[in-house]
Structure 1
Amino acid sequence: MNLWKKFTFALAVSAGSLVGCSDDSNDLDTMIPENEKEPTTAQIQGFVFYPALTSATEANVQQLKVPAGFAVNKFAEGVGKPRIIAVDDAGHVYVSDRASGTVTLLQDTNNDGKADIQKIVATIRQAHGLAIQGGRLYVMSVNELYSTDINMADGTLSRPQLLLSDLPDGGQHPNRTLAFGPDGKLYMSVGSTCNSCPEPNPENATMLVANADGSDRRIFAKGLRNTIGFGWHPQTKEFWGMDHGIDWLGDDEQQEELNKITDGADYGWPFIYGAGNYNPGDRPSGTTYAEYAKRTTNPTLSYQAHSAPMAMVFYTGTQFPQEYQNDAFIAMRGSWNRSSPVGYKVVRVHFENGQPTRFDDFLSGFLVNSRNSHFGRLVGLAVNRDGSLLVSDDTNGVIYRVARQ
C-alpha cells in the first residue's frame, strides 16, 4: 500500500528590516520586512509524498518515453545503488556507489548495447563524484579526494592516492561531484549541510576550484545550495550548473535554478532565491534583504520545484542528430516534498547561440500506477563512447542506455 502524508505548518519568526517585502508569487502567505523591527510571518502548506518503489520490469522499461527515433534498453542491472557515471576514451564505464563505497567498471566488449563485464575496481568509503583527466580517475567522497591511474588495457585501477582529506562535512548534502574545466582546473561542488541555514563553514554551499593535485583550493562561487550537475558549454566554454531549490516553501517553490556560474559570484542561498525572492526562514546578518539581493546573481532559467536535478552533461557525441550537439541533458531525480510527484526523468536543455532557452522531456515514464509508483530515481549521466546516453538509477540498480534506433 502506498502511504502518503499531508500536513500544514506555519512559520512565524521574529526578524526583520524596515522596508519592503519581496514580490513572491508562490504558495507562501508572507510578510517579510527588511529588518527585525517587525516580525516575519509565513504560512506554508507542506507535503511529503514518496511514490512507492516498484520493479524495473521489461514491461515498465518498454513503456518509457523518448523522442521518435530513439530507444531505451538496460545497459546493466544488479549494479547496487549506482550514482555518478564517467566514461574514458577506451570505453571503460565507471560507476560510483556511495552506499557500498565502491567504483564499478562496466564494459560492453561485443558492442551489443549491454555491459558484459561488471566488476568492482575500487573501494573508497562514500565514493561518489567521478572525473577522468590525463589517464587518471578522480574520486570524491564526503571529505576526501583521490586519484588513481587507469590501466587502459583492461580498465582496472591503481591504488587510490589521497589528494585532499579536509573537505567540509556533508550533513544533508554529502554527495560531492567534480569535473575538470577548460582551464585544466578541478572544480568541486560542495552542497549545504541543511535545507536552509547560515553555514559556519564557508566552503559549504559552494563551488570550489583547485589544481589537479588538490592544491591552491579556493571558493569559486557561493550561495549554491546543492549543484550536483554542472559543466561547460562546448563552444562558449561558459560554466553552467543546476542548483537544488529550498524545500518546505510549498508545492511550487523554490524552483530549481540553472545558473551561469562565474568566479566570485553569490547565488543567494539561503537568503535570496529566484528573481530576488526573500527566504522567510533565514535573514542575512548585518544587512537587509534588498541590499543582499543586489549582490546576488539570479538564475538564467528555472525548472519545476522539487524535481531534484542531479547529473548534467553536454552532448558532444556523434550518434544523436545534429540538433542535439552542444545541448545539455539533466537527470531529475524526482520530488518527495510535493503533493503530486514531479521529476523522475531526464530533460534536455536547448542552447541557442550558446545560451539556454528551454527544457524538454527526453527520457520519461518512470512514474507508473497513476503516478503513485516509480521504478527509477535517476542520478548519473554520461555520453558513452558510441554516442549513446547512459543514465543511472540507484533504486533498482539499473544503468539505462538511450540510443538512436
Structure 2
Amino acid sequence: PDGYKRTLVAEGFDDPVMGMAIRDGKLWATSNNFLYRFDLSETGPATNKTTLVVDKNKAWNPFGMFVLEWGPDGKLYMSVGNHNIDLRGPGDEQMSGRGGSGIVLRMNDDGSRMERLTHGLRVPYSFDYDPFGQLWLLSNGQGNPDRFLRVIDGVDYHCYSRGGVDNNWLAGNHPLAPPCFELPRGASTQLIRYYGAAYPDEIQGSLLLNNWGAHGFQAPDRTIFRYVPDERNNIVHKEPWITCRDPHFRSSHILLAPDGDLLISDWYGRDDESDVTGRIWKVSYDGPDKPKSAEVSLDSPRWNEQAFALAALGSRSHMVRERAIAVLAGQGVKAADALGAHLAACENPLGAAGAVWALARAGDPAALRQLAKAARNPDWRIRR
C-alpha cells in the first residue's frame, strides 16, 4: 500500500509480459504467443499456471498477444499485433486475422469461444469498451502516425490485411472509410473513456489518450490529451490535459483507481531501453465542482437486497457499477424480470446500460427475453 513493498508474483517467462488482467483471485497474463492463467494468493507467488491460448506462429517481436481488458459483458478482451496469427484455444478452437494484420478479440475467461471483433490493424496498443458498448482503440503505426479508432464491430481497417489500399482509407479520409483519427508524433500507448466518481460532469465521457513519445523526445511532446465526443460519439474537441515539466516524464499507462482518480504509470526516462526506473502518479481533482463521495459503499451489508443492487447500477463509481452488474447477473432467473423493468423505466443512462450488461452476463432464456426491452429505450446508446 505504501508503494515500496514488492512481492514477486510470477517469473520464468521466455518473452516480456505485455498484458495482465485480474479477477476473482486469478491472474491472466500474455507473453508473446501464450495466454496464461494463474491462481493468486495474498502473500506469495501465483500458482497453478495454466496455458489457455497458444499462437502457433510466434510473432517476431513482443507484439504477439498483447493487451488484456475486461469488457462490460464480463468477457476477456485481447489484442494481438500484426503477424500471421494462428491462435489455438481449448479444444483446438482457432482464430486468425486477415493477411498479416493485428486483431482484437474476446473470449470466455477460460480461453474458449474466441470471437474476432476487428482486424486490419498493426499493433492495437490499447482499447477500452465504454459502459454503452462502444469499443475505442489505439493502433500503433510503423513510424508515424498512430491511429485512434471508434471501432465498428467486424470492420477490416485494411492495415496489412490486403494490398492496394492507400493511406486515405487508413486515415479515415475515404468517403466510405470508418471513423479514424491520425495522432501526432510519438507512441500513443493508452486510452480510457472516463466514467468515474472523482471528476466532475464536464469530464464524464471524455477520452483520455497519452503520448509516450519516442526515443529522445522532450517532455512537452509527452502529453495526456483529452478528446471530447458529442452526443453521437463524434470527436468535436481536443485539448492537452496533463503535461509535466520534468524532462524525464513519459506516461505509458493510465488506469482508474478504485475511487475514480487517475493512476499514471511514468516510464521516467528519455531512452527507450531505460526500463529500470519508473514512477506512478495519482492525479486527483480538487475543484469547486468536485463530486461528492459515491452514495453506495462496496462493503455495504445491503448487497443481497435486489433493489439496492438495481439502484447501484447507475452509480458514478465504476467499482460500484461493476459490483452491481456482477451481483444481479449472479442472481440469474431471479433477477431477470426486475432487470427488465429497470431497463424499461430507468432514466439514468448508466443504470439502463448496467441492466443490459447484467442480463447479457446472466445469459439464460429469461434474461435474454428481457433484453428485448433495450430496443425500446429512448436513449440510442442503450438501443445499440
Alignment of 1:275-290 (within 5 A): 275-276=168-169
Q: What is the distance in 2 between the residues matched to 1:241 and 1:180?
A: 14
Amino acid at match of 2:135: F
Deviation at 1:154, TM superposition (A): 5.9
Alignment of 1:77-92 (within 5 A): none
**SS of residue paired to 1:164:** strand
Unmatched segments (≥5 aa) in structure 2:
85-95, 270-276, 287-384
In structure 2, relative to structure 1, the CA distance for the partners of 1:327 and 1:148 (3 Å cut) is farther
Please tell me whether the aligned partners of residues 265 and 297 of structure 1 are also in contact (alpha carbons under 8 angstroms): no
Alignment of 1:160-199 (within 5 A): 160-166=49-55, 168-172=57-61, 174=63, 176-193=66-83
| Cross-structure match for 1:378 | 251
1:123 aligns with 2:11: yes
Please tell me whether the aligned partners of residues 275 and 299 of structure 1 are also in contact (alpha carbons under 8 angstroms): no
| Cross-structure match for 2:194 | 315
In structure 2, relative to structure 1, the CA distance for the partners of 1:323 and 1:149 (3 Å cut) is farther
| Cross-structure match for 1:87 | none
Please tell me whether the aligned partners of residues 69 and 78 of structure 2 are also in contact (alpha carbons under 8 angstroms): yes
Alignment of 1:1-400 (within 5 A): 107-108=1-2, 115-123=3-11, 125=13, 126-151=16-41, 157-166=46-55, 168-172=57-61, 174=63, 176-193=66-83, 202=99, 204-234=101-131, 236-247=132-143, 254-270=144-160, 272=165, 275-276=168-169, 297-304=177-184, 306-336=185-215, 343-353=221-231, 355=233, 356-365=235-244, 374-394=247-267, 395=269, 396-400=277-281
The Cα offsets for residues 177-196 of structure 1, whole Å up to 9 and x where unpaired, read as: 011223333221111259xx
Unmatched segments (≥5 aa) in structure 1:
1-106, 109-114, 248-253, 279-292, 369-373
Q: Which stretch has the larger CA shift, 154-163 or 351-360?
A: 154-163
Please tell me whether the aligned partners of residues 219 and 248 of structure 2 are also in contact (alpha carbons under 8 angstroms): no
| Cross-structure match for 1:45 | none
Q: What is the distance in 2 between the residues matched to 1:277 and 1:203?
A: 16
Q: What is the distance in 1 between the residues matched to 2:214 and 2:73?
A: 35
Q: What is the distance in 2 between the residues matched to 1:322 and 1:203?
A: 42
In structure 2, relative to structure 1, the CA distance for the partners of 1:241 and 1:315 (3 Å cut) is same
| Cross-structure match for 1:402 | 283
| Cross-structure match for 1:21 | none
**SS of residue paired to 1:379:** strand
Q: What is the distance in 1 between the residues matched to 2:50 and 2:207?
A: 32
Deviation at 1:136, TM superposition (A): 2.8
**SS of residue paired to 1:118:** coil
The structure in which a higher percent of residues are helix is 2
In structure 2, relative to structure 1, the CA distance for the partners of 1:238 and 1:177 (3 Å cut) is same
Higher RCO structure, 1 or 2 (CA under 8 Å, sep 6+): 1
Q: What is the distance in 1 between the residues matched to 2:183 and 2:177?
A: 17
What is the TM-score when the length of structure 2 is the normalising length?
Answer: 0.58
In structure 2, relative to structure 1, the CA distance for the partners of 1:223 and 1:204 (3 Å cut) is closer
Deviation at 1:171, TM superposition (A): 2.5
Q: What is the distance in 1 between the residues matched to 2:9 and 2:71?
A: 26
The Cα offsets for residues 9-32 of structure 1, whole Å up to 9 and x where unpaired, read as: xxxxxxxxxxxxxxxxxxxxxxxx
Please tell me whether the aligned partners of residues 102 and 121 of structure 2 are also in contact (alpha carbons under 8 angstroms): yes
Q: Which stretch has the larger CA shift, 321-330 or 162-171?
A: 162-171
**SS of residue paired to 2:284:** strand
Please tell me whether the aligned partners of residues 379 and 393 of structure 1 are also in contact (alpha carbons under 8 angstroms): yes
Q: What is the distance in 2 between the residues matched to 1:155 and 1:363?
A: 36
Q: What is the distance in 2 between the residues matched to 1:228 and 1:209?
A: 16
In structure 2, relative to structure 1, the CA distance for the partners of 1:300 and 1:155 (3 Å cut) is farther
Q: What is the distance in 2 between the residues matched to 1:201 and 1:168?
A: 14
Amino acid at match of 1:160: K
Q: What is the distance in 1 between the residues matched to 2:108 and 2:52?
A: 11
Amino acid at match of 2:244: G
In structure 2, relative to structure 1, the CA distance for the partners of 1:237 and 1:390 (3 Å cut) is same
Amino acid at match of 2:127: F
Please tell me whether the aligned partners of residues 142 and 167 of structure 1 are also in contact (alpha carbons under 8 angstroms): no
The 4+ residue runs of structure 1 with deviation greater than 6 A are none
How many residues are matched? Answer: 259
Please tell me whether the aligned partners of residues 229 and 330 of structure 1 are also in contact (alpha carbons under 8 angstroms): no
Q: What is the distance in 2 between the residues matched to 1:273 and 1:160?
A: 44
In structure 2, relative to structure 1, the CA distance for the partners of 1:200 and 1:183 (3 Å cut) is closer
In structure 2, relative to structure 1, the CA distance for the partners of 1:275 and 1:168 (3 Å cut) is same
The structure in which a higher percent of residues are strand is 1
In structure 2, relative to structure 1, the CA distance for the partners of 1:212 and 1:334 (3 Å cut) is same
Please tell me whether the aligned partners of residues 221 and 266 of structure 1 are also in contact (alpha carbons under 8 angstroms): yes
Deviation at 1:156, TM superposition (A): 6.7
Please tell me whether the aligned partners of residues 106 and 116 of structure 2 are also in contact (alpha carbons under 8 angstroms): yes
